[in-house]
Amino acid sequence: MKNKSKDFKKELELATKNATVLVSNQDTIRSMEEKGEKIERKFITYKAYLEDLFTRKRKVALQLVTPIPKMRDNLGSAILQSIYEEMRDSLALGIFSSAIMHPILLLEYAMRIRVYKERQKADPNAKWEPVAGLLIRPLANALHKSVVINKEQKADLIGFNEKIRNPYMHINIYELTKGMTLDVTSVNIIKEEVERIEKSPVTENPHMWFVGKKKYDAMSVLPIMKKCVNYVNIISV
């Protein structure tokens, strides 16, 4: 048993040496401590945390922000410009969830503005309030009715609403990570076993959902941005 523990410790050190994310629970930690494993708990000052954060973010900021899609600069809306700038800042800092939610908000607001302007054509006294709460599906229907977008674009926007917008706005991580896999290393402290698993299904392991979402965010952020900004440029007048 002693030799097994020795081999297990080597396997564990090898498995965790280059790991980018470690997921555990309190039972595992207690079990490791009972076996004499040293569990380090560190506290760093906010100053040290911020210095490390900005150093890491600065290294990749230019690479991240360079391919950002360009929004037209003649839209005449300070709100759209403000949302776009926050989207860009989020991307530069590598905060992908925020960088995804902002273009969705950007698109919705641009759609509201255009629907409102179309209503004003028919009724100069039309109010903003009935438009203010509309989301992508009814907005897409209204824009199609006004011949601002075609049938294919309407269907594309409604599909985007169901598959991307709603899961993100409701934090439906299960839906977002369906079909996603990760290569992981599983450690069984009790049996002293280390198993490397390729293409482990994320949705079957709830403790991996947040890691799966981070992967999904990184893969999806630019395509989502490009779609949203492209529609903003098309819809806005």
- Angle (CA) 232-85-211 rounded to 5° is 90
Domain that holds residue 89: 2-235
Q: What is the pTM of this model?
A: 0.84
Domain count, the chain: 1
Q: Is 118 left (phi over 0), alpha (psi -120 to 50) or beta?
A: alpha
pLDDT for position 1: 41
pLDDT at 107 over 90: yes
Report the alpha-carbon distance of residue 89 to residue 71 in Å, rounded.
14
Q: Residue 184: beta bridge partners?
A: 197
For the segment 31-42, the average pLDDT, to the nearest whole number, is 75
pLDDT for position 43: 82
Q: Residue 188: beta bridge partners?
A: 193
Report the alpha-carbon distance of residue 85 to residue 73 in Å, rounded.
12
pLDDT one-digit tens code per residue, 150-204: 999 999 999 999 999 999 999 899 898 888 899 888 877 777 788 888 899 998 8
| Averaged confidence pLDDT in the chain | 90
pLDDT for position 23: 73
pLDDT one-digit tens code per residue, 1-11: 445 577 777 77
pLDDT one-digit tens code per residue, 132-144: 999 999 999 999 9
Nearest to 136 by CA among 108, 168, 162: 108
32-36, 170-174, 232-236: least confident range: 32-36
